[in-house]
């Protein structure tokens, strides 16, 4: 397991949203084909459908973490606790690196949401958006955490 950050960046530059980019970087480990992974993460781009809430890269990281290490039994209190602790740890690592986990704050926006139509992916778009770096950071954070668990 390596290079997930570079894979996530490449997916973003290919046109996938932030959540899809991170989630797709792990799709093989998740046991999902590319199309299914892209569909599962598609709603979380732009801070959840361009609502500019939780960053899509962070949501994609959480989605992958849930499939890789999550619980499924609703009575599994320890599993739930462990998963929520992991989510908080991943969020804190992302926040420490980038200052926030909220899309609009990361982009320096002064409004809460945008129209549902995404902006065209032009050179200017990529020049003013930190998203390629954010998806790489999220994928690397999850990759590092998974390696720690594997080595323990």
Q: Give pLDDT, residue 25.
A: 98
Nearest to 143 by CA among 103, 90, 98: 90
Report how far apart, in Å, the C-alpha atoms of 55 and of each of 18, 31, 32, 40 are. 8, 24, 22, 16
| DSSP secondary structure code for residue 119 in this structure | P
Q: Give pLDDT, residue 152.
A: 67
Q: Show pLDDT as tens, one digit a residue, over the chain (152 residues).
A: 459 999 999 999 999 999 999 999 999 999 999 999 999 999 999 999 999 999 999 999 999 999 999 999 999 999 999 999 999 999 999 999 999 999 999 999 998 888 999 988 988 888 889 999 999 999 999 999 988 887 76
Nearest to 138 by CA among 98, 76, 94: 94
Distance CA 30, CA 52 (A): 27
The DSSP H or E segment spanning 59 is helix 56-69
Q: Give pLDDT, residue 128.
A: 86
Distance CA 50, CA 33 (A): 25
Q: Give pLDDT, residue 151.
A: 78
Q: Give pLDDT, residue 98.
A: 98
Q: Give pLDDT, residue 119.
A: 87
């Amino acid at each position: 397991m390596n290079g997930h950050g570079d894979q996530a960046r490449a997916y973003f530059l290919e046109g996938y949203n932030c959540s899809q980019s991170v989630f797709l970087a792990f799709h093989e480990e998740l046991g999902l084909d590319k199309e299914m992974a892209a569909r599962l993460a598609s709603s979380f781009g732009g801070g959840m459908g361009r609502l500019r809430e939780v960053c899509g890269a962070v949501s994609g990281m959480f989605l992958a973490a849930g499939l890789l290490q999550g619980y499924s039994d609703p009575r599994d209190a320890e599993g739930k606790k462990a998963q929520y602790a992991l989510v908080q740890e991943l969020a804190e690592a992302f926040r420490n690196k980038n200052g926030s986990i909220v899309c609009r704050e990361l982009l320096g926006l002064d409004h809460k949401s945008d129209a549902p139509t995404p902006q065209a992916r032009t050179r200017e778009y990529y020049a003013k958006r930190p998203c390629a770096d954010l998806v790489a950071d999220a994928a690397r954070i999850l990759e590092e955490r998974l390696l720690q668990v594997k080595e323990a």
